[in-house]
Structure 1
Amino acid sequence: MTVDGKLVLAGAPIGQAGDVSPRLREALQSADVVAAEDTRRLRRLAADLGVEIAGRVVSYYDQNEAGRARELLESLKEGRTVVVITDAGMPGVSDPGYRLTRLAVDEGITVTALPGPSAVTTALAVSGLASDRFCFEGFPPRKPGDRARRLSALAGEERTMVFFEAPHRLASSLAAMAEAFGPDRQAAVCRELTKTYEEVRRGGLGELAEWAAGGVKGEITVVVAGHVADEGEPDLDELVAEVDRRVAEGTQRKVAVAEVAKQAGIPKRELYDLVHRRSFTP
């Protein structure tokens, strides 16, 4: 059974108000409720577009998403049209939207979307890296240990990877990526996409980490090339055996891993994790 209400997930411009579609203009004018990640930004966008929002405007951000989703669900059940709009890009993509969408789907309420700009696909398109297969990894973990483990698990990922990152953490994240994927792995740092000071830096992760250490501002999307396997790739079992041999001869495990990884041309974190897992395997 369906309910008369309708949930509209509206893609917002990521920089230029001119990227707004005529359908979004119409939706903002006609919606019964507009749930915005930042109501002040929504008001500015509406002013830039010359659009008058006649419906009720409510805040819908990370900290109040769970409770507000229930409230908005009641409006949908009453037959109202609810538009969800974030600061930039599509709701639900590292922004509020998923919880309400899930609740609406479970209740048989119509859910639709107004497509709009996305930093994910925009950065992928301008990166110059392979775009036929890619994965979106969102924001890397903030804590160094958690981040290193997450990136290590992605070291063998063959698809192009897209990340978001805060400007003040960019340098450390790029350094961690260089450690996990290798300093020569190609990447692109896309800053302020579609805005006045748009900038795209391309190069190896090590080189990009050095550049970012000088300080970077703005909205950041990072695109990283996937792992490319070749016939000359080292046998990991043999590398683990070589580490074990050196440890047996008295070399510290950490030192042995670093030496073997460097000789094999692979990230030492990848080899260390493999050695660690094998040591606890019965």
Structure 2
Amino acid sequence: MNTGFQQTRRAALTAAVAAALAACGGGGSGDGEAPAPVGQVINSTIKSASNGSTYPVQVFLPESYATGTATLPVIYATEGDAQYGGPNRSRFDTFKEVLQRRGTQAILVGIGGTAWRGTDFLMPGAAKYLDFLVKELAPAIERQYSADPKRRVLSGLSHGGYFVVAALILEARAGVPPSFSHYLSTECSVGEHTSPAGVLAFEKQIDGKPLPTTLLLAGASGGNHPLISIPLFNQMASQNLPGLVMLKAEYSTSHVGADVPAFEDALKRFFP
């Protein structure tokens, strides 16, 4: 990996509870200025048949879920157990609080396993991780909850942001319709490639393929965004990719600092 690009390393949280997607938790909690707990958080684990790993999974259900009848969109957040702002806060916690504050009616699924990001998010491991998400985790979520299979969001930061793009490319290259209706790639890294040119060459393989989905490429002005995401956006926007809606956003913040404003932007644009 080219050390000129920022690759955020965040420790995985150790807490996880048993039983694949079996309910065992109560409401989420906040501290400091965080919103009061609204909704419910369910903790579980799921063992993947695709790659053999066992992942902690957290599911946030908004307050309306208990009495509502509508199916809700589902946001799949990779690195849900990555530490954010302190030892007792995670990416899942932070995204959950954004949903609570905005009143967004969506299910949030935080996928743990940050410690395996160097394997799961980069090729060749990314192909097996994608199989886990679309063939195992998403169907399990949709069996257990009132989740809309036509409104799935995939979110990732840095290597996770690269995986979001790779997931789109892998399915398009295989001639498979996108498994997610919306993709949020924040501060995309160069992945397993040695330069942004490698990412562009990887993506170029799908020119001419139908892509009926939405992709938001977001990042920091002083981070990876100008070096990777903007050239990628420009290349994809110039290609023949029927059905693809391309969006981009840039923030004057740090590499990791772009994650929350990108998530907020995505909620505004994906679920207006």
Q: TM-score, normalized by length of structure 1? A: 0.30
Name the structure where helix makes up a greater proportion of residues: 1
Mark the structure with the bigger radius of gyration: 1
Q: TM-score, normalized by length of structure 2? A: 0.30
